[in-house]
Chain A
Amino acid sequence: MSKDALVIENLNKVFATPNEQVVALKNVELTVEQGEFLTIIGPSGCGKSTLLKIIAGLDVDYTGKVELNGQVINGPSLEKGFIFQEPRLFPWLTVEKNIAGDQSLRDPNIKQQVTELIKLVKLEGFEKAYPRELSGGMAQRVSIARALLRNPAILLLDEPFGALDAFTRSHMQEVLLNIWQTNKTTMIFVTHDLDEAVFLGQRVVIMNPRPGHIKSVLPIDLSFPRKRSSLGFQEMRRAVLNEFEKVEEETYTVGAGI
């Protein structure tokens, strides 16, 4: 077994408003192995995006232990790549300059890495294109390449394909798996799409709202490449769905917030 990259112990997060305190995350325990592909799924308000932001160092107002490779996370760093739902490209920069970011393309080393990444995300020929000339899927691939240029130890993806149509989305999933298998980057992928969670993840984390906590973690013992139509995939999908229905029942019986 490879070593744990990310260790989260007894993580709690409270959003305090003047009138009330909302518990966003309660007693979250999670370890992610080096090179693992983990997907997190749950209904809105379950704290999955909050959890990802804490791992990214975008939110440091929490209690508990969050460590990446033995280091306490207390802010953003280049070893934690982050992909938002929107590509967030700079509209005045070409594709290659967007990927390079604050690095100079005049540096032959950077130039070569950017060229390789453009090949990896299958955007050859679009080096000089502006973001407005790209489709949603292409733009998101640029943002993935931009994150990868920084050689992150872990890539955090917050519903990155949520705004894409079904065909583009499944294509993007293949691209991402290809990147994962090539670069062996640890991936944490937040989604609200059941198929996506099962298709990509080696483990699926199911989260439950009010207060946000981890309901269960299901290993997906299917080899890559996975086939959505295969019996095994359908069984795993059903297993995750079962967990979900339990989540829903609990939510409704407790009746919190309804």
Chain B
Amino acid sequence: MILTSKNIVQTKKKWNLSVILSPWLVPLAIVGIWQIISSLKLVAQHILPAPTQIIATFWLLLSNGDLLNHLIVSGERVLVGFLLGASVGIVLGIVTGFSKLLQEIVDPSLQMLRTVPLLALIPLFILWFGVGEFGKVLMIALGAFFPVYVNVFLGIRLVNIQLYEVTGLLQYSFKKRLTTLIIPSAMPNILLGIRLALGASWLVLVVSEMMGTSAGIGYMIQDARAYSQTDIVFVGLVMFALLGKLSDSFVYTIERRVLKWQDTFKG
């Protein structure tokens, strides 16, 4: 009895460790090979600085406060832009999802706008709003809006008609129908939309920060490029990778908690 339960605990622990390690195997291997190439001086430092050099630069920027400043500026833009775009996306998605009429009025225009590459709008935004914060936040909001809008709409239209019939038979109020059927049912799509929107937000942020600004991670990269400080460029890139991954994992964690009822293939 004791032996079996101990065995179970052990296998569980082992499994957990491999799960924690497995995503890091490929990055660690690449960094290792990279360090070897740099140490052997096969590539010039200003093309590909050694990982140790990048780490040193990272510490320097962290200790003199530069990195944190850029980070706060970028974080603020992404957060405000994302929240703005995502909330408008949720509201419009729900509205068009519920009403066939509003769908026919609103959706075609939005779909047309969606096909315009977002980055092609940048010149127009600079003309309209200048290079200030407003234009940047608006760009990010626009980038975050579409994935959320499309997926919320889809989620509502995927609500099971049989369950909808049940809420009719049991005389649910509109509010109860929304909170106990529509939103939980659309939740997988809503969360997917939010994950995609976060990715889009980071993307638009970088592009918008590469023109006409004096702070932010994107600016830091652009500025370092001008002085051939390749190690700083890499610090910026790694920051983006970490922030992107962090925000994605955050939503993924919520997803796993909220959607634990799902009975789907888990691989």
Which of A65-73, A77-85, A115-123, A227-235 has 4 or more CB atoms under 8 Å from chain B? A77-85
CB of A56 within 8 A of CB of B169, answer: yes
**How many residues of chain A get a CB closer than 8 Å to chain B's CBs?**
20
- The interface bits of chain A over 88-125 (1 if a CB of B lies within 8 angstroms of the residue's CB, else 0) are 10111100000001100000000000000000000000
Whether A43 is near chain B, meaning CB under 8 Å from some CB there, is no
- A238 at interface by CB-CB < 8 Å: no
State the CA gap A82–B162 with chains docked (Å): 12
CA–CA, A150 and B172, complex, Å: 12
Query: CB distance A78 to B165 under 8 Å?
Result: no
Q: A102-B176, A132-B261, A132-B263 are in contact. Are A82 and B169 (CB under 8 A)?
A: yes
Q: For A76, give its contact among B171, B180, B263 (CB under 8 Å).
A: B171
- Taking a contact as CB atoms under 8 Å apart, the answer to whether B168 and A90 are in contact is no
The answer to whether A58 touches B173 (Cβ under 8 A) is no
Give min CB distance, B159 to chain A, whole Å: 11
* Given A102-B180, A130-B261, A76 contacting B173 (CB threshold 8 A): no
A86 on interface, CB distance cutoff 8 Å: yes
Q: B-side binding surface: helix, strand, loop or mixed?
A: helix
Q: Is the CB of A88 within 8 A of B170?
A: no
- A52, B237: Cα distance in complex, Å: 65
**Interface size grouping (class) on chain B:** 20 to 34
Quote the shortest CB–CB distance from A199 to chain B (angstroms).
27
Known contacts A91-B261, A91-B263, A92-B261; A58/B184 CB under 8 A: no
Q: Is there an interface contact between B180 and A101, defined as CB atoms closer than 8 Å?
A: yes
Contacts of A150 in B (CB 8 A): 170
Q: Does B124 contact A (CB under 8 A)?
A: no
| Structural contact, A76 and B168, CB atoms closer than 8 A | yes
Given contacts A132-B261, A132-B263, contact A90 B169 (CB under 8 A): no
CB-CB under 8 A from B187, the residues of chain A are 92
In the bound complex, do residue A78 and residue B171 qualify as a contact, i.e. CB atoms below 8 Å apart? yes
B184 touches A92 (CB 8 A): yes
B166 within 8 A of A: yes
CB within 8 Å for A88 and B166 given contacts A77-B171, A132-B261: yes
Which of B167, B170, B261 interacts with A78 by CB under 8 Å? B170
Once the chains bind, are B263 and A90 in contact (CB under 8 Å)?
no
Distance between Cα atoms of A78 and B168 in the complex (Å): 10
A82 neighbours in B (Cβ, 8 Å): 169
Closest to B164 in A: A88
Any A CB within 8 A of the CB of B73: no
List B contacts of A56 (CB < 8 A). 169
Contact residues in B for A84 (Cβ distance below 8 Å): 162, 166
B165 contact set on A, CB distance < 8 A = 58, 88
> Nearest Cβ in chain A — how far from B166, in angstroms?
5
**Chain A positions within 8 Å of B176 at CB level:** 102
Nearest B residue to A77, CB-CB: B171
The answer to whether A88 and B171 touch across the interface, beta carbons within 8 angstroms, is no
B115 to chain A, nearest CB (A): 34
Contacts of A93 on B, CB cut-off 8 Å? Answer: 180, 184, 261
User: Known interface pairs A88-B162, A91-B263, A92-B261. Does A76 touch B184 (Cβ–Cβ under 8 Å)?
Assistant: no
B261 touches A102 (CB 8 A): no
Instruction: Kindly state whether residue B63 has any CB partner on chain A within 8 Å.
Output: no
| Residues of B213-267 contacting chain A, CB below 8 A | 259, 261-263
**Contact mask B127-170 → A, CB, 8 Å, 1/0?**
00000000000000000000000000000000000110111111
A102 to B173, CA, bound (A): 8
Interface residue B181 (Cβ < 8 Å from any Cβ of A): yes
B266 to A: closest C-beta gap in Å: 12
Contact residues in B for A91 (Cβ distance below 8 Å): 261-263
A84–B187 Cα distance when bound, in Å, is 26
Other-chain contact of A102, B163, B170, B262, B263 (Cβ < 8 Å): B170
Additional A-B contacts beyond A92-B259, A93-B184 (19; CB < 8 A): A58-B168, A58-B169, A76-B169, A77-B171, A80-B169, A84-B162, A84-B166, A88-B163, A88-B166, A90-B180, A90-B184, A92-B185, A101-B172, A101-B180, A102-B167, A102-B173, A130-B261, A132-B263, A146-B170
Can you list 17 A-B pairs, Cβ within 8 angstroms, ordered by A? A58-B168, A76-B168, A76-B171, A78-B171, A80-B169, A82-B169, A84-B162, A88-B165, A88-B166, A92-B185, A92-B261, A102-B171, A102-B176, A102-B180, A132-B263, A146-B170, A150-B170
* Chain B residues at the A interface, C-beta cutoff of 8 Å: 162-163, 165-173, 176, 180-181, 184-185, 187, 259, 261-263
